[in-house]
Amino acid sequence: MSEKTLTRMDLSECVFREVGLSRNESAQLVESVLTSMSDALVAGETVKISSFGTFSVRAKAARVGRNPKTGEEVPIHPRRVLTFRPSHLMKDRVAAGNKK
Amino acid sequence: MIRSELIQKIADENPHLYQRDVERIVNTIFEEIINTMARGDRVELRGFGAFSVKKRDARVGRNPRTGESVQVEEKHVPFFKTGKLLRDRLNEE
């Protein structure tokens, strides 16, 4: 379905066009935003961006997994996973934009 | 952390920028991610994660209250997959 993948570079380019900072500084700001969000999540915080969505960290308990190929049992250690819940606005815009 | 706290943090780290410009920068980033997904494209931010669009096929649903069958149309939903670096950072000692 998708042809083009947006990257950091494209986001920096948008910031560059929107605010008129240098390309270099625009790239650094995109990086700062991602780093700030990551740091908050690693610290166990929930990151809630209104009209975008909510990133939250959940703790998963240890369980016994199985190697599907060999059938061998392997212990899966307790771990923390990140989940993203899109806002209604994001869901509506994605649904509307991809409607045939 | 909420949107305004994120903006404040970036503003504190960049005292040479106007607060309103920081606000525009942060808003532009989130806006562009949504625009891209609305076009059906992917956003890949290495180390952080990737936003993509998944297709949900049309199906026959049921009204849980009345038990009545309803046709649910095909739709597209946003999806996020955590990047490897962030996943690893969440599980460091």
- The ipTM, to two decimals, is 0.90
Chain A and chain B share a number of CB contacts under 8 A equal to 154
Q: In A, which residues are within 8 Å of B52 by CB distance?
A: 2
- Looking up tokens 């308990």 gives A61
Which of A2, A52, A80 lies closest to B41 in CB terms? A2
| A37-A41-A45 Cα angle (round to 5) | 110
Residues A21/A27/A31/A34 CA torsion (nearest 10 deg)? 80
Which of A30, A33, A57 lies closest to B6 in CB terms? A33
pLDDT of residue B49: 98
Q: pLDDT tens digit string along A6-49?
A: 999 999 999 999 988 999 999 999 999 999 999 999 999 999 99
Regarding predicted confidence, which is higher, A20 or B31?
Answer: B31
A61 touches chain B (CB under 8 A): no
Which of A5, A47, A79 lies closest to B1 in CB terms? A47
Confidence class for position A2, pLDDT limits 50, 70, 90:
very low
Q: Which residues touch A76 (CB under 8 Å, ≥6 apart)?
A: A62, A63, A64, A65
Confidence class for position B92, pLDDT limits 50, 70, 90:
confident
| Predicted confidence (pLDDT) at residue B93 exceeds the cutoff of 90 | no
Whether residues A7 and B33 touch (CB distance < 8 A) is answered with: no
pTM equals 0.91
Strands (E) in B1-93, as ranges, are: 42-45, 49-56, 59-62, 69-72, 75-82
Q: pLDDT tens digit string along B33-88?
A: 999 999 999 999 999 999 999 999 999 999 999 989 999 999 999 999 999 999 99
Q: In this structure, what token pair is assigned to residue B6?
A: 């994120």
